[in-house]
Amino acid sequence: MASPRLILASASPRRRELLLHAGYDFEVHPADIDEDDYPPQTLPADIAQRLALLKAQALLPKFPNDVMLAADTVVAFGDRPLGKPADESDAVNMLGLLSGTTHVVITGVTVLRPATHFSISTRVMSSVRMRPWSAKEIHRYVASGDWKGKAGGYGIQDERPDPFVMRLAGSHSNIVGLPMEATAELLGSAGIFPAANGPKTELKLAISPAVAPGIAAE
């Protein structure tokens, strides 16, 4: 029997890059789901895990003999979930809310292998301390278009002359959009491993030198 393919159920270039840098061979087939498909008052962590599962399940009929990998990232401001901004105005409001605060980035990850009835999910949380932004800085960032398709309206990997993340705790790759430590464990359980000759270079993130990994945000 041929080895199953790894199918990434996401159009995110950031998730694709993380998998490539980890040495995985995979195909990209974004799942078309309603990302507002969750009951009212659902907690952010449950939203991330639910949407990741729905994305993976959406591809089951098309790839019954392969392994589906899906993820969904939600920024949590307290119990309030912040997904991808709908437009520039929404992005401005989200960044204004997060400015000068500590928030949590949550990614739900699901791996399915229907041929063996394999299904596993997890969620990973990281905390991010953001420096205060002026209204001018927020509007300049939003005008750049970098907010598009990013939970909370920002990406920690965006190159900035003055980084807006002061401190973080937890998985760096989780904040980018795919916690690679947890993802590798889930994929290994499904029989998917990096190619022996795949790239193993570390993906460098644009984070201020002041950021100290492992130090809890204040």
Spatial separation of the C-alpha atoms in residues 153 and 175, rounded to whole Å: 12
Q: Where are the domains of the chain?
A: 6-189
Spatial separation of the C-alpha atoms in residues 205 and 94, rounded to whole Å: 22
C-alpha pair distances (Å), 81 with each of 78, 183, 216: 8, 22, 21
Q: What is the CA radius of gyration of the chain?
A: 17
Find the helix or strand (DSSP H, E) in which 6 lies. Answer: strand 6-8
- Both tokens of 192, joined, read 């998917």
CATH architecture of 6-189: Alpha-Beta Complex (3.90)
pTM for the model stands at 0.84
Provide the pLDDT for residue 196.
65
Residue 72 annotated to the active site: yes
**Structure confidence by residue, pLDDT tens digits, 149-164:** 898 998 887 756 667 8
Q: Residue 36 is which amino acid? A: D
Task: Say if residue 185 is exposed, middle or buried (CB neighbours under 10 Å; 0-12, 13-18, 19+).
Answer: middle
Q: Which of the residues 25, 66, 72, 158 is marked catalytic? A: 72
**Structure confidence by residue, pLDDT tens digits, 90-140:** 999 999 999 999 999 999 999 999 999 999 999 999 999 999 999 999 999
